[in-house]
């Protein structure tokens, strides 16, 4: 690790999966150990781990745990009995395409396994993890190349090391741009209701010595109006074949405001986030979570008694509002279906 790459939220250690519990940050940095796939599915659903790439990596290690248990129970029939576990993993967070991508990749190893599957599947899960970090490093370089010297950057939610295997997508770009001396100031939206910007992005950047200024989402447009933002850089949980981008709720309104104010809008995500089976953003499933996440702050009620709440946790930004999609395979400027297809063929 370099001095701007110190956070790792996922580890395999002594035959178990270790996850940094992101629900406790920044007050407490604590790992939880997992040795059963049902526990891993719960960890994904309960947001112990979050961010599409990190969810995919975690699911890959979850498949290892499932295979270990099923092989011990039935050495000749583990492939059939593991299906229930894979279904449970896939149902944990429906918007994050990396979850399904990772499970399918792990399944692709099944037919070539003779005997105990654990060693082969563990190697594949570790490969997925390391490939993600390498992809993030490459995206960081490519994204930083687009950013001019003296820029201020605004990011939303957390698309950093905490949301990936390490280094980060959007925060990887920011890390690389800071290292290149191009960044004057980094702004982060609070990102309600889970406050991923306030709790996670701010914490993560400060771990690596990168100063960050927190703002409420409602302040973003005014910040742009004053000329204090040159780039918005975000991640993605799923990118449609035409370049429409699903990301944390609030991303769409940032893109609309950025276009009005002449601010550039960048999406950084690995190609595993691109879903070529979804023609456009209208077909991306949008997860809606419990209303209590809005009605409460922690365990405390903050809304008026009797109020209802609508809590979609993602929105879709049309490709027409995106200036650049940055992946490990290259940069797609002004994305459309033709450009996305060409990038995906560029293996």
Q: Which residues are catalytic?
A: 237
3-class state of residue 233 by DSSP:
strand
Tokens found for residue 266: 């960048």
3-state helix, strand, coil in the chain (%, to 5): 45, 20, 35
Sign of CA dihedral 8, 14, 15, 16: negative
CB atoms within 10 A of CB 287: 15
3-class state of residue 235 by DSSP:
coil
Q: Where are the beta strands (DSSP E) in the chain?
A: 10-13, 16-20, 31-34, 151-155, 183-189, 213-215, 231-234, 238-240, 245-248, 264-268, 274-275, 296-297, 300-301, 314-317, 324-327, 330-333
Sign of CA dihedral 138, 128, 344, 55: negative
């Amino acid at each position: 690790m370099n001095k701007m790459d110190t956070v790792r939220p996922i580890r395999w250690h002594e035959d178990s999966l270790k996850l940094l519990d992101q629900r406790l940050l920044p007050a407490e940095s604590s790992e939880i150990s997992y040795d059963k796939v049902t526990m891993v599915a719960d960890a994904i659903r309960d947001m112990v781990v979050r961010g599409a790439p990190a969810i995919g990596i975690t699911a890959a290690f979850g498949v290892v745990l499932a295979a270990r248990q099923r092989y011990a129970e039935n050495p000749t029939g583990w492939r059939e009995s593991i299906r229930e576990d894979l279904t449970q993993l896939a149902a944990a967070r429906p918007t994050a395409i990396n979850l399904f991508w990772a499970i399918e990749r792990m399944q692709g190893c099944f037919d070539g396994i003779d005997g105990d599957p654990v060693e082969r599947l563990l190697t594949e899960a570790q490969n997925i993890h390391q490939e993600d970090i390498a992809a993030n490093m490459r995206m960081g370089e490519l994204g930083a190349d687009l950013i001019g010297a003296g820029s201020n950057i605004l990011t939303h939610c957390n698309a950093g090391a905490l949301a990936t295997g390490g280094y980060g997508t959007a925060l990887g770009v920011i890390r690389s741009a800071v290292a290149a001396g191009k960044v004057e100031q980094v702004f982060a939206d609070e990102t309600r209701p889970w406050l991923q910007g306030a709790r996670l992005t701010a914490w993560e950047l400060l771990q690596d010595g990168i100063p960050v200024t927190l703002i409420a989402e409602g302040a973003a447009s005014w910040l742009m109006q004053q000329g204090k933002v040159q780039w918005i850089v975000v991640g993605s949980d799923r990118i449609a074949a035409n370049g429409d981008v699903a990301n944390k709720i609030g991303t769409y309104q940032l893109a609309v405001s950025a276009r009005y104010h002449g601010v550039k809008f960048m999406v950084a995500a690995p190609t595993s986030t691109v879903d070529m089976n979804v023609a456009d953003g209208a077909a991306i499933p949008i997860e809606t979570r419990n209303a209590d996440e809005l009605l409460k702050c922690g365990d405390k009620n903050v809304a008026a008694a009797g109020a209802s709440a609508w809590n979609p946790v993602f929105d879709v930004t049309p490709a027409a509002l995106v200036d650049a999609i940055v992946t490990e395979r290259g940069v797609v400027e002004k994305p459309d279906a033709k450009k996305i297809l060409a990038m995906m063929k560029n293996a």
